[in-house]
């Protein structure tokens, strides 16, 4: 969805299938619908302390089929069920003790969010009821980090517009590496009656992200 470089995935076209028990002429029956030739328009990966790593994505398909009692697939479709032993979601502790590195330095991060926008260009022509093609164009990456204040290093990087790498360990053997990250803004709210640890929100952009 977001990888560029030697093993890109942002150009991948995927077909999604959904099966539901729906009313079919007064009787519940298994019905099927498919989003064909879908390409990812945007994807956001986020996590906060004591929470799960979540992924939200938006896709542009060439066509979405009407619900039908037949799938159109040769044979009977078999949907792989979730396995509680192997399908374990990533959480805020899945990446180890130092899951957030900014310029190779571990950060006390309370939450993070990264978004890749592929700026899908939808091509639809006069006389056609569906999208003829959907192609990714400009690659845009943004991030936001909530980091407990320990020193002025990141603030100095913001003011100097210095590019740094960010590495997020999201789970065992899974990392997101962002190249040429620069902080555009930082926000440090102050309240006289607050007893919370001082936290600074850093927002910026990156050139590319690779999940490995």
pLDDT of residue 167: 97
Please say if the pLDDT value at position 99 is more than 80. Answer: yes
Please say if the pLDDT value at position 127 is more than 90. Answer: no
More confident residue, 72 or 151: 151
Q: Please state the rounded mean pLDDT for residues 139-163.
A: 95
Q: Please state the rounded mean pLDDT for residues 117-122.
A: 87
Q: How many CB atoms lie within 10 A of CB 4?
A: 19
pLDDT digits (tens, 9 = 90+) for 40-71: 999 999 999 999 999 999 999 888 999 998 88
According to the 3-state scheme, what is the secondary structure of the chain? CCCCCCCCCCCCCEEEEEEEEEEECCEEEEEEEEEEEEEEEEEEEEEECCCECEEEEEEECCEECCCECCCCCCCCCCCCCCCCCCCCCCECCCCCCCCEEECCEECCEEEEEEEEECCCEEECCCCCCCCCEEECCCCEEEEEEEEECCCCHHHHHHHHCCCEEEEEEEECCEEEEEEEEEEEEEECCCCCCCCCCCEEEEEEEECEEEEC
Lowest pLDDT segment from 9-13, 117-121, 145-149: 9-13
pLDDT of residue 5: 63
Tokens of 142: 């943004």
Indicate the domain borders of the chain. Answer: 41-58+88-211
Q: Please state the rounded mean pLDDT for residues 121-148.
A: 87
Lowest pLDDT segment from 3-7, 82-86, 104-108, 172-176: 3-7
pLDDT of residue 190: 85
Distance separating alpha carbons of residues 182 and 202, to the nearest angstrom: 10
pLDDT digits (tens, 9 = 90+) for 182-209: 999 999 988 888 888 899 999 999 999 9
**Among 37, 48, 49, residue whose Cα is nearest residue 11:** 37
CATH code reported for the domain at 41-58+88-211:
2.30.110
Tokens of 9: 């995935």
pTM for this model (two decimals)? 0.85
Distance separating alpha carbons of residues 138 and 161, to the nearest angstrom: 22
């Amino acid at each position: 969805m977001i990888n560029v470089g030697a093993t890109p995935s942002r150009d991948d076209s995927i077909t999604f299938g959904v099966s539901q028990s729906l009313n079919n002429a007064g009787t519940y029956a298994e019905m099927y619908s498919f989003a064909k030739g879908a390409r990812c328009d945007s994807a956001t990966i986020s996590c906060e302390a004591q929470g799960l790593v979540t992924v939200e994505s938006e896709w542009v398909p060439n066509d979405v089929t009407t619900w039908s009692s037949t799938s159109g697939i040769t044979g009977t479709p078999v949907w792989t069920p979730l396995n509680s032993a192997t399908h374990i979601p990533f959480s805020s502790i899945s990446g180890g003790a130092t899951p957030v590195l900014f310029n190779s330095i571990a950060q006390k991060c309370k939450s993070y969010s990264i978004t890749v926008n592929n700026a899908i260009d939808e091509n639809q022509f006069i006389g056609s009821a569906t999208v003829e093609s959907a192609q990714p164009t400009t690659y845009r990456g943004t991030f936001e980090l909530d980091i407990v204040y320990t020193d002025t290093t990141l603030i100095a990087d913001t003011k100097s517009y210095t590019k740094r790498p960010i590495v997020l360990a999201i789970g065992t053997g899974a990392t997101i590496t962002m190249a040429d990250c620069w902080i555009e803004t930082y926000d440090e709210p102050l309240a006289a009656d607050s007893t919370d640890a001082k936290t600074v929100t850093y927002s910026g952009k990156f050139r590319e992200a690779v999940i490995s």
